[in-house]
Amino acid sequence: MGCSSSSAKDKKSEKVLRATLIIQNWYRGYRARLKARQHYALAIFQSIEYADEQSQMQLSNFFSFMLENYTRVHEEDPKLASRLFESNVQDIKDRQDYVGLVEVPDSYEGPRLQFPLSFPDIDLLIEAFKKQQILHAHYVLEVLFETKKILMQKSNFTHINTSPSKEITICGDLHGKLDDLFMIFYKNGLPSEKNSYIFNGDFVDRGKNSVEILMILFVSFLVYPNNLHLNRGNHEDFMMNLRYGFTREVLHKYKIHGKKILQMLEEVYTWLPIGTIIDNEILVIHGGISDSTDLCLLHRVQRNKMKSVLMPPMSIIGDNASNLKKNKLGVTINMPDKTEQNDSFSEQLSKHEWEQVTDILWSDPRGRKGCYPNTSRGGGCYFGPDVTSKVLSKYQLKLLIRSHECKPEGYEICHDGKVITVFSASNYYEEGSNRGAYIRLSFGTSLRFFQYQVTKATYSKPLHQRVNTIESSAIKILKERIIGRKTDLIRAFQLQDHSRSGKISTTQWAFSMENVLGLNLPWRSLSSHLVNTDKNGDIDYMSSFQDIHIEKPVKEAQSTVIETLYRYRSDLQIIFNIIDSDHSGLISMEEFRAMWNLFSSHYNVHIDDFQLQSSVRIPYASDPQLSGSGLQG
C-alpha cells in the first residue's frame, strides 16, 4: 500500500513538473514574441529617424544648387534674393546689443539669476523648471552671452584627468527631455568641483524642454567651467533645429525676443568644443570616426567656422567665381568687392576640414570592417572595428565613447570593447521604448554603467500593453511615410500585378515597399499590421492605404500634387522659414513660386503652375494634414 501511494505521488509530481515546463516554455516563447515585436517597432522608429536625417543632409546639396542659380533668382525677384543671401545677423560683440535692451518687469515671477552666477543659481533654476516656470528672455540672453565668452577660451578638445578621488560622469543625448536630466542629477548629484560631468551633445530638439536643458547646462557650465564639459552634437545646429522642433519651441516660449535668442544660439553652437579626451586614453565625441580622421587637424581647425553641417564650403562656380560673399546661411553670393570675397572664404572651413568635423558629429559604428558612406543618415560614415583599432592605436588611445544612437538599454559596447555608445534620453521614441544611461569612471577603475527609465505609467502596465503602445505608435508613423509615396507604391505594385487582380504575393509586396521607401525594414513580418492577406497568402495591395489619406487643403488640388507637397513638407518648411524673416508663417506667392522653381528643378518634381497655385492658398506653416482611423492630423 505504501508503494502504491509513493507511485501516485511520483506521477503527480511528474505531471506538475511537466506542466511547469510547458508553462515556462510557453511564457518564454510569449516573451520572445513580444520582444521581437518591440524590436521591429524600434527598427521602424530608427529607420524613419535616419531617413529624415538623410533628407536633412540632402538639403545641403539644394543650397549649393541655389548658389549656382543665384543670378536667375536675382533677376526674377531681387527682393527674395536679398532676403535669402544677404546676412541680417550682426556679429554679436557687445552685451548691451542683446541683453541690455531686454528689461525684466517687476511683475515677472520666475527665477531671477544673480551674475556672476553661483551654485544657488543652479538650484534655483532647477526648482523653477520643476514648477514649469519660464526663465525671462533677459536672463536667457545673458546666460548665452556669458557662455559664449567662456566657450571662446576653450580649445577644440577639452583635455581632463581623473584621479582615485575624482570621478567623471558621461551623459549622452538628452534631446529636450528635462525629466531625464532631473533623474541623472537625482541619482548622481548636481555638478560641482568634486562631481564632474561631460554632456556629449544633442541637448536640444525632439523633446519639449530643450530651452530648460540648455539653461541648466549653461548655468552649471558658467559656475563650474572646469568641471562641466559640453561637446557639440549634430543637433547643435540651427538648420537641424528648424526641422526637429527647437526653433518652434523658442519662438513659442519667447514670442517677443525669440528671434534674438535664436541668433545668439547660432553663435554659441559654433564655439562648443567638438570633443573631450580623458586621461589621454579615452576619446569622447558625439558621433564617431572615419578611416581618415585626423585628430591633429581637428585640434587646430577653427571650429566656429562650422555654422551648420547643412552648409558645406562652397567651391567657386563658373563665371560667378570672382564676386562671392558669405551670408547668414553659410552660402556665398554675388558681390562686387574682391576684398569681401577673400574675407568670406576666410570665414569658411576648407572642404577637408568640414568633412573631418562632419565625420565626428555624424558617424556610426558597424560590425562590418572598413569605412563606407552612412547611407541611412546621409552624413558621416559607418566605421568598422578595424577602423576603430587603427585610429585609437595611431593616437595612443584605448577607448572611444560616443552617443548619437538610441539603444534599447541606454548603452551598447561594440568593436571588441573599444567603442561604447551612451544615450541618456529614455522613452526616446515612445513611452517605454528604451532606457537612458550614463557612465561613471575614475582613474584606474572599470567603467560603471547606470540605467534608468523616467516614467509615470510604464511599469504599472504589463509588458504586452507597453509593447502594444510602442508598436501602434511605430505603425502610425510608418503609415504616414507610406501615404506620402502612394502614387509611386501603386505604380510599383501594378508592375508586379501581371494579371491585374489587385493582388500580389507577400514577397512581391515586400520588394515593392523596400524598393520605393528604402527603409530597410522586415516588411514580411510587418505585413500583418499594414495590409489584408487572403487565404492563399496573397496581399490586396490597395489595403496598404486603408484608413489613411492626406486631407486636401483645397478641393481643386490634385491628389498627386498634395502628396508631393506632403512628402517634402519638412524640407519646404525649412526653406520657407529662412525666407520668412519675421516668422509670421506667411510668404508671398511670388516668393513661393521662385523658390519652388528651384526646388522642383533640383529634386526633379514636376507640378504645373496652375496646380501649384491652387494648392498653396494657405499659410506655409499649415501642412496638409493626415486623417483617417488612428491617424488624425
Q: What is the pLDDT of residue 333?
A: 34
pLDDT band of residue 458 (cuts 50, 70, 90) is very low
CB 256 within 8 A of CB 137: yes
pLDDT (average), residues 451-471: 78
Residue among 228, 189, 117, 187 nearest 450 (CA): 187
**pLDDT of the residue at 234:** 96
Higher pLDDT, residue 560 or 453: 453
Q: Is 235 a catalytic residue?
A: yes
Positive/negative CA dihedral, 10, 11, 15, 21: positive
Give the pLDDT of residue 5: 66
Q: What is the dihedral of CA 592, 593, 594, 597, to 10 degrees?
A: 120
pLDDT band at 610 (very low <50, low <70, confident <90, very high): low
Give the span between the Cα atoms of 371 and 289, in whole angstroms: 9
| Choice among 136, 175, 235, 602 that is catalytic | 235
Query: pLDDT category, 612, cuts 50, 70, 90?
Result: low
Grade residue 178 by pLDDT with cuts at 50, 70 and 90. very high
| Interval 293-326: pLDDT, tens | 999 999 999 999 998 887 777 653 334 433 433 3
The three-state secondary structure class of 163 is: strand
Tens of pLDDT, residues 120-161: 999 999 999 999 999 999 999 999 999 999 999 999 999 999
Provide, rounded to the nearest whole percent, the portion of the chain with pLDDT above 90. 56
Grouping H, G, I as helix, E, B as strand and the rest as coil, residue 388 is helix
CB atoms within 10 A of CB 34: 17
Task: Dig out the grid coordinates for 46 from the structure.
Answer: 530608427
Looking at residue 37, its pLDDT comes to 85
What pLDDT was estimated at residue 99?
A: 76
Q: Residue 345 has what pLDDT?
A: 47
- The domain 111-312+351-452 having CATH identifier 3.60.21.10: the answer here is yes
